[in-house]
Structure 1
Amino acid sequence: MNDVASGGADISRIVLESSCDALGLALLVCGRDDTILHASASMLQFFPVQPHLLKPGTRLRDFLGAVYDTGLRPGTLPESSRRRANREDWIAEQMGLHWRERYESVERAGRTRWICLRKRRLSSGMGILSVSDVSDQKKREEQLHTDLERVELTEQILDAQPNPICVKDRNLNYIAANKAFCAIHDVAPEAILGRSAWDVVDAELAERFEQSDRHVLATGRPHSEAEHIVRADGSDLWVVTRKYRVGVPGRHFVVTCMNDVTDIAAWYHGAEDGGGNSGLQIRDYSIFTPAQNFYDPFRALNVQQLVDAGSMIETLPARGLRVLLATADREMEDRIVARLRGSGLDACAVRNREELDAFAATAGDCGVKLDILALDTALPARDAILAGWKTCPVLEVSSQADATTLLGEIFKACTDRHQARSHFPPADWEVSFEGDATARTSASEVEVLVAEDNQINQFVFAQILDGLGVSYRIAANGREAVELWQELQPSLVLMDISMPVMNGFEAAAAIRDAESQTGRRTPIIAVTAQALDIDLKRCEASGMDDHIMKPISPDMIEALLRKHMRPATVRLTA
């Protein structure tokens, strides 16, 4: 009987040792009288005590005292082992932990080693201690924590940079973008990260960006280019964009840094030297490649706010207007003409009244219409010109005038003039189109109905449709658009989706509901600020046929007209 019992105990011990080795842990079992009943041999790997201290019958207190004496007791660093805590207090504390029903902790044992201690006290009074090495796991956690701190620090450094910076992966998707880059688009980083340039900018620019990005990825050669960007708030950003390849083979990235050179690209006046001119002037803006225009004029509140804020109005209807500057000041001519041309206007200058009269006569013979005459207040013949000039509105400009402010005044003058045309017949020198704003009341003459509540954007549509020779009417809200549609039966509706009283979705649904009784279908084009999937689905659900994104352009409108309606019939009036 004793031999059988002894053989069974040996088998149990062997199985227990094998299990500990397989699980990668050490096991210590003690009885209710705090004597060791069993200790696996692997316990010596964690606590280098004398082997006899792990034999059955050894007091747990003696084992803990030996662990304390090694200086590798859990929770004590090697460099602080000389400043030992009281031995008896430490042993008493550990004995108390062994009598807890459950106790688990991860503690440092040595300079680079971490162990996990799990203690259980069974209802029978038997205590079990398991010890496992978690150094690798702890190192991974510490490395992850360090990496996260490094990433956070890198993001903070990038966000602190005044220049826009972004990073793309080998699939050319954005994986990082600092605050300055997001500010250009006026969106949060979440709206950019994970997307490509095709989701952020126009298709033509996205293709150009992709070509340069892929060239940098393939060759590793840096790419640089001077660009003119219009931010989402309408202000200019003149940059020298540089692209670099970073990373290791198979994990290359493209880093794009836009160095802001606005201060030297635009003329400015210093204030510290008593008002004298300072800074530099770029006379040839053609070195800057037109980049993305993020400004949305539909966000603008009114013209006066734009002028007061000194916003760059490059994307508003002032683009393409013909402006003539009359000044004898060569410096003023160079500064203002270059700035206006850089903003998309057709600008030139004359230096005296004789040149002005000759220019006006030649322009009239060629059928070229001036939109604005900017007259230098210091020009000798100023009073005579003001008294006799009838060709176009005149804006008086001082020699110290800021070109940006002049842009706002030009736009405001054009806006006021357009609004006045709805009350006065066109002058005998103007060219007008059939169905002009002065006589658009008959349903047969109205080809396009524009639903738009913003006055600036109404002017944008009016300028474009006037230029295309298309008759139109403008509704200020969705309800008015439905009423004008019923009255005029236009061939096409351009519907802004965000309007007061009734939004574009509701107005389109109302038109489709009315058409269900007649069998007639008018093409309705949604005008959106962003091509979000949810908006496009609502456009489709409300019965709209197509959509365009702001800011709009003549090419965009002309393509819609060709697609959805016959070309307008244009005739000149006497």
Structure 2
Amino acid sequence: MNDLASSGAAVQLSLLEAVSDALGLAVFVCDRNDELIFASKPIQQFYPVEDRFLARGTRLRDFLGAVFDLGVRSGTATERSRRRVNRDEWISARVSLHWRERYEVVERIARQRWINVRKRRLANGLCVVSLTEVSEQKKKEEQMQLDVERMEMTEGILDGLPNPICVKDRSLNYIGVNKAFCDLHGMTPDQILGRSVWDLIEPELAEKFETSDRMVLETGREHSLPEQIVRANGDDCWVVTHKFRVGDAHRGLLVTCMNDVTDIVVGYDEGVVSPEMAKNLAVARYDAFEPAQNCHDPYQALDLHVLAQTAQAPTPQDMAAQQRTTEAAEPIVAGRILVMTPDATVEARLLSVLSKRGHEVCALSSAPEMTAFLDAIREANLSLDLVLIDPALGDLKATLETAAGPPGIVFDPSWAQEALADHVLASFTIRETALGSPIPDEPAAILQTPADWDIVLPVTERPTSDIDVLVAEDNDINQFVFSQILEGLGLSYRIAANGEEAVRFWQQFRPQLIFMDVSMPVMNGFDATRAIRAAEVHLSSRTPIVAVTTQALDIDLEHARAAGMDDHIVKPISPDMIERVRNRYLQDSSDHRQQR
């Protein structure tokens, strides 16, 4: 190329033309006077100028002017221009670029056409320019950029939704989550993506969720389920979970959307909706919501646990306010009541009303059941304060009087709650006056069957406790964890493998504190607590009982309170958690051990 202007120039130009034609290159060459000395035919594929503008000796300015006049000039889009481009200015700018030593740029010459322009000025003054079509590559890049922008916009929309959403691949690993889903678990996307449900929740629920996930991926049928979830911050979240497949059975993805209906379940704030709308939004059956994942981690959020509140000592102002409230409140007299009715609906209503008033209640439906029940409580040396008799079983009142049993009242099923409470209170008042001893005030509980009374044996007072803590836990691993923590805190303890053994150990060792697992074989923790509370009627002391649950669900907490439990903790347990309970209920445990 450096010898192009020598005697062999014609041969070299012919060779250059042959090479450019063979390779399909668009090439033109200018000399130091900015005159064309070579232009290949493919140039007209980009710039369809007349042949005379590509002839040898044509000025570069004339060639560029013809390109400008065609409206396909490099670096502009004439159909989108908002102002008229000055012809002379554009030509001068392009000529100046030809005098750069090296220059390369991708330029658009039409709405959907792009070229790669390479220019090189040689030492002898010759300028070589090559043009290459890059429209397809540029379109792909633009499409990729558009896809990225759309993806970012979609992620922004999903992150703005209040409903948790996640996407899983065929291996059921998380490949997409929105902000609400991350907030639910208290984790970042990086901590969730690439993991499975087995890494986030307990195995029992993980297996249940994976079964439904597989079913949706294999069949393509949508799966819906109302669930109650515990958020990472400890709050309850009521959702209707929908799972559906996107794509075919071989390459489909699983999308899970949790529609948050917490506002409907727990109620709206005043003024948000009208009473008419609230009626239409009411939930018909709360038991339709199945317990689901518990995202609350007591290790990371102990300050949000209910123990953090119950462990705080009341201030003098709180104690004074509580005393004023107690003095102003109407005195409540509680007792043991047996309800005799063959109607299940009436039975459920009376159990609910009376238990909320602080009474221990049991329900039977026939005379033989009542007779067997009265014999059982006499053998256990327990008392029964009142029998409420359905009009359909009215003759049972005479049976009670003949057998010198507890007083009986034939109730009217149409009585309102206040009327029923007044009759019960009047009966207790008459009995107190006759016996000269008050009825003990005990925690409310519902004794579902006479069997709850059978294991309660007469107990006697003991001056001291034989152990500090009784643990009722059936799981071997949890038993080991409890023993390690309690030994580290210097507490004496015994471990019961079921509720029945826990009641027997309580009678034998009289511990100062009980950790009661609510789910155990033989007898669950709720029934064991009711049995202990029934036996404590004859004692002047009351043993604190702390429920141990796998999830902090409202239904479990309600059952715990109804059974007479004082507090609760959530598995997995930690030393800090046990120490908080110890400080709350065993503040003098060290002095007590020294006295023993």
Return the TM-score normalized by structure 1: 0.56
Write out aligned runs for 1:294-333 (5 A): 294-298=295-299, 299-301=301-303, 303=306
Structure 2, unmatched stretches of 5+, are 1-6, 312-333, 338-344, 364-372, 383-416, 446-458, 471-480, 514-569, 575-596
Write out aligned runs for 1:51-70 (5 A): 51-70=51-70
- State the secondary structure of the residue aligned to 1:350: helix
Q: Which residue of 2 aligns with 1:86?
A: 86
Change (3 A) 1:365 1:77: farther
How far is 1:104 from its partner? 2.1
User: What do residues 493-545 of structure 1 show as CA deviations (whole Å, max 9, x unaligned)?
Assistant: xxxxxxxxxxxxxxxxxxxxxxxxxxxxxxxxxxxxxxxxxxxxxxxxxxxxx
Write out aligned runs for 1:101-500 (5 A): 101-248=101-248, 250-266=250-266, 270=270, 282=283, 284-298=285-299, 299-301=301-303, 303=306, 350=354, 356=360, 388=438, 392=442, 428=460, 435-437=467-469, 448-450=483-485
**Paired residues of 2:36 and 2:60 also in contact (CA < 8 A):** yes
**Paired residues of 2:220 and 2:249 also in contact (CA < 8 A):** no
2-side partners of 1:466 and 1:434: how far apart?
20
How far is 1:54 from its partner? 1.8
- State the secondary structure of the residue aligned to 2:110: coil
- State the secondary structure of the residue aligned to 2:246: strand
User: What do residues 107-136 of structure 1 show as CA deviations (whole Å, max 9, x unaligned)?
Assistant: 211121011222222232221212111111
Amino acid at match of 1:287: A
Q: In terms of mean alpha carbon deviation, does 108-117 or 385-394 score higher?
A: 385-394
Amino acid at match of 1:50: E
- State the secondary structure of the residue aligned to 1:176: strand
From the CA coordinates, give the structure whose radius of gyration is larger: 2
Q: Which residue of 2 aligns with 1:40?
A: 40
1-side partners of 2:171 and 2:335: how far apart?
49
2-side partners of 1:196 and 1:356: how far apart?
46
Amino acid at match of 1:450: I
**Paired residues of 1:36 and 1:54 also in contact (CA < 8 A):** yes
Q: Which residue of 2 aligns with 1:320?
A: none
Amino acid at match of 1:288: F
Q: Which residue of 2 aligns with 1:12?
A: 15
1-side partners of 2:248 and 2:241: how far apart?
23
- State the secondary structure of the residue aligned to 2:291: strand
Amino acid at match of 1:437: V
Number of residue pairs matched by the alignment: 394
How far is 1:55 from its partner? 2.7
How far is 1:76 from its partner? 2.2
1-side partners of 2:278 and 2:261: how far apart?
15
How far is 1:358 from its partner? 7.0
Change (3 A) 1:87 1:289: same
User: What do residues 185-213 of structure 1 show as CA deviations (whole Å, max 9, x unaligned)?
Assistant: 01111211222222222222222222212
User: What do residues 454-477 of structure 1 show as CA deviations (whole Å, max 9, x unaligned)?
Assistant: 9xxx9xx99999978699999xxx
User: What do residues 340-386 of structure 1 show as CA deviations (whole Å, max 9, x unaligned)?
Assistant: xxxxxxx9662698964879998998899xxxxxxx99965789899
How far is 1:450 from its partner? 0.5
Amino acid at match of 2:286: Y
Q: Which residue of 2 aligns with 1:541?
A: none
User: What do residues 242-297 of structure 1 show as CA deviations (whole Å, max 9, x unaligned)?
Assistant: 11222356431222111122233335774679999966665743322211111122
**Paired residues of 2:217 and 2:249 also in contact (CA < 8 A):** no
2-side partners of 1:193 and 1:265: how far apart?
31
How far is 1:174 from its partner? 1.6
2-side partners of 1:261 and 1:103: how far apart?
63
How far is 1:148 from its partner? 0.9
Matched, 1:26 2:26: yes
- State the secondary structure of the residue aligned to 1:123: coil
1-side partners of 2:184 and 2:482: how far apart?
37
- State the secondary structure of the residue aligned to 1:212: helix
Amino acid at match of 2:297: D
Amino acid at match of 1:551: K
- State the secondary structure of the residue aligned to 1:449: helix
Change (3 A) 1:198 1:135: same
- State the secondary structure of the residue aligned to 1:125: coil
Residue number among 526, 551, 557 corresponding to 2:571 in the alignment: 551
**Identity over aligned pairs, percent:** 42
2-side partners of 1:326 and 1:269: how far apart?
39
CA RMSD after TM alignment: 5.1
Amino acid at match of 1:28: F
1-side partners of 2:296 and 2:267: how far apart?
22
Change (3 A) 1:138 1:389: farther
Return the TM-score normalized by structure 2: 0.55
2-side partners of 1:357 and 1:254: how far apart?
49
2-side partners of 1:135 and 1:248: how far apart?
34
User: What do residues 210-254 of structure 1 show as CA deviations (whole Å, max 9, x unaligned)?
Assistant: 221222122221111111111111111111111122235643122
2-side partners of 1:178 and 1:204: how far apart?
25
2-side partners of 1:300 and 1:13: how far apart?
81
Amino acid at match of 1:350: L
**Paired residues of 1:224 and 1:241 also in contact (CA < 8 A):** yes
1-side partners of 2:277 and 2:94: how far apart?
80
2-side partners of 1:153 and 1:391: how far apart?
63
How far is 1:13 from its partner? 2.0
- State the secondary structure of the residue aligned to 1:297: coil
2-side partners of 1:17 and 1:388: how far apart?
115
**Paired residues of 2:100 and 2:120 also in contact (CA < 8 A):** yes
2-side partners of 1:168 and 1:75: how far apart?
46
How far is 1:394 from its partner? 7.6
2-side partners of 1:551 and 1:41: how far apart?
81
- State the secondary structure of the residue aligned to 1:41: coil
Q: Which residue of 1 aligns with 2:583?
A: none
Change (3 A) 1:390 1:72: same
Amino acid at match of 1:297: P
